[in-house]
Chain A
Amino acid sequence: MHKEAVIREPLILGNDVTYSKISDDVLHTIEHAPTKTWKILMTIASIIALWGVCCILYLIGTGIGVWGLNNTVGWAWDITNFVWWVGIGHAGTLISAVLLLFRQKWRMAINRPAEAMTIFAVFMAGTFPMIHMGRIWMAYWVLPLPNQFGSLWVNFNSPLLWDVFAISTYMSVSLVFWYIGLIPDFATIRDRAKTPVSKLMYSLLSFGWTGNAKAWQRFEEVSLVLAGLATPLVFSVHSIVSMDFATSVIPGWHTTIFPPYFVAGAVFSGFAMVQTLMLIVRKAMHLEQYVTIKHIEYMNIVIIVTGSIVGVAYLTELFMSYYSGVEYESYAFINRFSGPYAWAYWTMMTCNVVSPHLFWFKKLRTNLGFTFFMSIIVNIGMWFERFVIIVTSVHRDYLPSSWSMFYPTWVDIGVYIGTIGIFSVFYLLFLKYFPVLAFNEVKSILKSSGERYKNMSDEDFKKLHPVKKIN
């Protein structure tokens, strides 16, 4: 019997936890009628989502002139939102893949909701380049298809095309990874279902999962190999997103530090979003026994580490712009921290570089209210990071007569708020109809990391689980 070191804190709290109690607790929301809170939240989210859809339709119908873009600032909120959402979408696969490879057991309680967040966030991110095309019905032109213009293919040397491949691969592989994990859990719901409708629905969703020994063996192998594939994928995707900027010759963008800097930023913002969602979910769905303070603390530690990497990257960038001796490069950064967008730069610096270091205090990083507040701060800070990189680098170009500012219109704001609404609708549906925790995986760590078993002596364990009958 594998036992974990006693000094490791238990990951499943409570002395009454059994295998069936784990199923009961996690499936409570699925097996009961939706609560009033859920209905209210769903209504609000639907209204915002509908508003977002209307804004997008208006945008497509009229043209992207309804955004506040101008000749100088051709990329603004749309790409900011795109990178922000993709960044958020990085924590899910990181938690499920990287932490699986490192055999971190605490990932079991948070991988499912984090992966759901990833998929919905990447979906939201994908919306922005699509609607930015203007003529969205031409979106299939990004694919290398034979066409009527001679044999003109898409440009495989361009990072924008790499991005098409990266984002679509990332989204579909994350979806597969998530769903393969969901199948056994759907099977549990199917076998417990009482009404014919839910029985039918979950039979279809569970693909007829049986749970025999060979299937579980394959399941573990597939999870491991998918984790191995997804880990470099996570890093490559955000590196490629950063190359959209880094390979262009705009001062402020043309730097080799971008790929690692963007990846760290993505993990940083992704974990912040996981915190925001998990703190609400564990409270609302009474999952405090499975998503413990220790889990929250571990995630806050990841936030300190990635926040520090981001901080070092900001300062390196600043130093290099001075040390390079390139006039335009230096000006881009002087303009960032003292120009008309200095307020955005200093918001970014405060939220991303200064505030995560408050988590060095154990009291603060184990405080739920403070963690929630910080997660919002980091989300805001990371949005501003992308805004600062994108808008302040282009709003003052080589020709002072064409310098300008960017002012968002109501459509800019509407589409952004709308995607948050659409995301929330998906997430609320996920919370109601899907198993929120990977509870069958949580069962498998009950003996090694459950509070009850950790405090048990070997004799007590043998008494509780006798193998042979005493005659």
Chain B
Amino acid sequence: MSDKKIYAIYDDDYVLLESAKHLVAKGVYIRDVFSPFPVHGLDPVIGLKRTRIAIAAFIYGMIGVSLALTGMWFFMIKDWPLNVGGKPNFSIFTNLPSFIPITFEFGVLCAAHGMAITYLLRNWTLPGFKSRNPYPRTTDDRFVMEIHTHDNEVSEEEIKSLINETCVLEIDVKNS
């Protein structure tokens, strides 16, 4: 049996959220939802785990902080202890106060850019990539659920009739 994609198209985020709750309660697995803006409260309903991107950002930030400190230790203490006005640079600890600003800035720089790059790669969005939303209006005022027949034990007809119990605008079926 070939896998079929059933698209349930709604015109409102609230209606979609309530319908998703209804379908999930009946045991339907919703593969994905396309919407013009984040629908709050949807993630736990369709079983999405929380993203770990913030942890990644923290790691990038720590890398930035250690790079900055190592760099400044090398430039200012080890390689050329610059002596301005009879105030030489003896050790990283005595000099730490004046290293704080750049350590902070560089940490933020690495965290923000590292996270942005991770975000773009994980979403698979980069210049020149093709979008995968099924209908152009899902970026404007349509909210669409994607249900795969393969993911569900119930038949296609049954899923459709369950969707039809909700105030759906349109149901569309595509072969994948």
Question: Does A369 sit within 8 A of B, measured CB to CB?
Answer: no
What residues of chain A lie closer than 8 Å to B131, measured between beta carbons?
187, 190-191, 203, 206, 208-210
Q: Is the CB of A157 within 8 A of B57?
A: no
What residues of chain B lie closer than 8 Å to A152, measured between beta carbons?
80
**In chain B, residues 100-128, which have Cβ atoms closer than 8 Å to a Cβ of chain A?**
101-102, 104-106, 108-109, 111-113, 115-116, 119-120, 122-128
**In chain A, residues 291-338, which have Cβ atoms closer than 8 Å to a Cβ of chain B?**
none
What residues of chain B lie closer than 8 Å to A183, measured between beta carbons?
125
- Name the one of A150, A208, A215, A440 contacting B80, with C-beta atoms under 8 angstroms: A150
- Chain B residue with Cβ nearest A173: B112
- Name the one of B116, B126, B139 contacting A187, with C-beta atoms under 8 angstroms: B139
What residues of chain A lie closer than 8 Å to B50, measured between beta carbons?
217, 221
Question: Does A352 sit within 8 A of B, measured CB to CB?
Answer: no
- Name the one of B35, B105, B130, B165 contacting A211, with C-beta atoms under 8 angstroms: B35
Question: Does B157 sit within 8 A of A, measured CB to CB?
Answer: no
Q: Is the CB of A188 within 8 A of B140?
A: yes
Distance, CA A232 to CA B112, complexed state (A): 13
- Chain A residue with Cβ nearest B97: A157
Question: Does A47 sit within 8 A of B, measured CB to CB?
Answer: no
Q: Is the CB of A19 within 8 A of B42?
A: no
Question: Does B27 sit within 8 A of A, measured CB to CB?
Answer: no
What residues of chain A lie closer than 8 Å to B80, measured between beta carbons?
150-153
What residues of chain B lie closer than 8 Å to A465, measured between beta carbons?
12, 14-15, 167
What residues of chain A lie closer than 8 Å to B120, measured between beta carbons?
207
**Contacting chain A: which of B1-9, B69-77, B147-155?**
B69-77
Distance, CA A467 to CA B16, complexed state (A): 8
What residues of chain B lie closer than 8 Å to A225, measured between beta carbons?
53-54, 57, 111, 115
**In chain A, residues 227-276, which have Cβ atoms closer than 8 Å to a Cβ of chain B?**
229-230, 232-233, 236, 240, 243
Q: Is the CB of A1 within 8 A of B34?
A: no
- Chain A residue with Cβ nearest B38: A216
Q: Is the CB of B101 within 8 A of A240?
A: yes
Question: Does B33 sit within 8 A of A, measured CB to CB?
Answer: yes
- Chain A residue with Cβ nearest B141: A19
What residues of chain A lie closer than 8 Å to B126, measured between beta carbons?
207-208
Q: Is the CB of B105 within 8 A of A443?
A: no
Interface size counted on chain A using CB atoms at 8 A: 73
CB A294 to nearest CB in B, in angstroms, measures 22
A218 and B109 contact, Cβ closer than 8 Å, known pairs A162-B102, A210-B131, A225-B115: no
What residues of chain A lie closer than 8 Å to B108, measured between beta carbons?
169, 173, 229, 232-233
Q: Is the CB of B133 within 8 A of A212?
A: yes
Distance, CA A468 to CA B163, complexed state (A): 10
Distance, CA A210 to CA B115, complexed state (A): 19
What residues of chain A lie closer than 8 Å to B40, measured between beta carbons?
2, 444
A156 and B75 contact, Cβ closer than 8 Å, known pairs A20-B140, A209-B131, A467-B19: yes
What residues of chain A lie closer than 8 Å to B130, measured between beta carbons?
203, 208
Residues 151-163 of chain A, each 1 if its beta carbon lies under 8 Å from chain B, else 0: 1111111010110
- Chain A to chain B contacts (Cβ below 8 Å), 13 pairs: A152-B80, A153-B79, A155-B76, A157-B84, A169-B106, A172-B109, A176-B116, A187-B133, A213-B35, A218-B53, A219-B119, A440-B36, A468-B167
9 more CB-based (< 8 A) A-B contacts, given A207-B127, A213-B46, A240-B101: A23-B140, A150-B80, A153-B80, A155-B76, A156-B98, A184-B36, A203-B128, A214-B123, A467-B14
Write the residues of chain A forming the contact surface with B, with a CB cutoff of 8 angstroms: 1-2, 18-20, 23, 144, 150-157, 159, 161-162, 165-166, 169, 172-173, 176-177, 180, 183-184, 187-188, 190-192, 203-222, 224-226, 229-230, 232-233, 236, 240, 243, 440-441, 443-444, 447, 465-469
Per CB-CB distance, the 7 closest pairs between chain A and chain B, nearest first, are A208-B129, A191-B136, A19-B141, A207-B125, A216-B38, A153-B75, A467-B18
